[in-house]
């Protein structure tokens, strides 16, 4: 397993529709931010959903954890840092930290795990060939 850290950042601007009746970002809206972060990571490291799909795989989320430390408000500026966690198991694992740039506080810590499923519907229990190639290209193997 490599020592290299693969990390991307994504700036967030809180939308009105993401805020709930308590005036803070609804806990579910953060999943949109995590998705934005995964897309930013995919663009930076050539691991986009469409690339996977061209290699006949999709990568559904099987595990999701969020800890909410402080609230984001409407119009707050925030930043997500997404970090790839390499694993022997055939799983795409990401850790996330969302910072409120307005208050300088940590807002949310999150973690997702995705498995690889062939477009034929079969769960892949070992790393697919295109992902082994990807790991090599990024100094992880």
Q: What is the dihedral of CA 7, 13, 14, 18, to 10 degrees?
A: -70
Q: What is the smallest separation between the CB atom of 138 and a second copy, expressed in angstroms? A: 21
Structure tokens belonging to residue 7: 């990390």
Binding flag, residue 11, a second copy (CB under 8 A): no
Select 105 or 139, whichever has its Cβ closest to a second copy: 105
Binding flag, residue 105, a second copy (CB under 8 A): no
Binding flag, residue 52, a second copy (CB under 8 A): no
Q: Residue 53 in contact with residue 89, Cβ under 8 Å?
A: no
What residues between 54 and 93 interact with a second copy by CB under 8 A? 58, 60-69, 71, 74-75
Structure tokens belonging to residue 8: 């991307």
Size (the chain), residues: 141
Name the residue among 133, 121, 140, 138 with its Cα closest to residue 57: 121
Which residues are at the interface with a second copy (CB under 8 A)? Answer: 13, 15-17, 19-24, 26-28, 31-32, 35-36, 39, 48-50, 58, 60-69, 71, 74-75
């Amino acid at each position: 397993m490599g020592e290299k850290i693969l990390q991307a950042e994504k700036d967030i601007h809180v939308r009105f529709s993401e805020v709930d009746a308590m005036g803070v970002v609804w806990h579910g809206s953060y999943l949109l931010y995590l998705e934005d972060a995964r897309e930013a990571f995919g663009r930076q490291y050539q691991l986009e959903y469409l690339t996977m799909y061209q290699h006949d795989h999709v990568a559904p989320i099987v595990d999701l954890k969020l800890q909410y430390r402080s609230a984001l408000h409407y119009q707050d500026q925030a930043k997500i840092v997404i970090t790839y966690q390499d694993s022997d198991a055939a799983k795409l694992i990401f850790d996330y930290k969302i910072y409120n740039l307005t208050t300088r506080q940590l807002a949310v810590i999150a973690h997702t795990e995705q498995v690889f499923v062939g477009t034929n519907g079969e769960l892949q229990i070992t790393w697919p060939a295109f992902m082994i190639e990807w790991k090599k290209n990024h100094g992880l193997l």
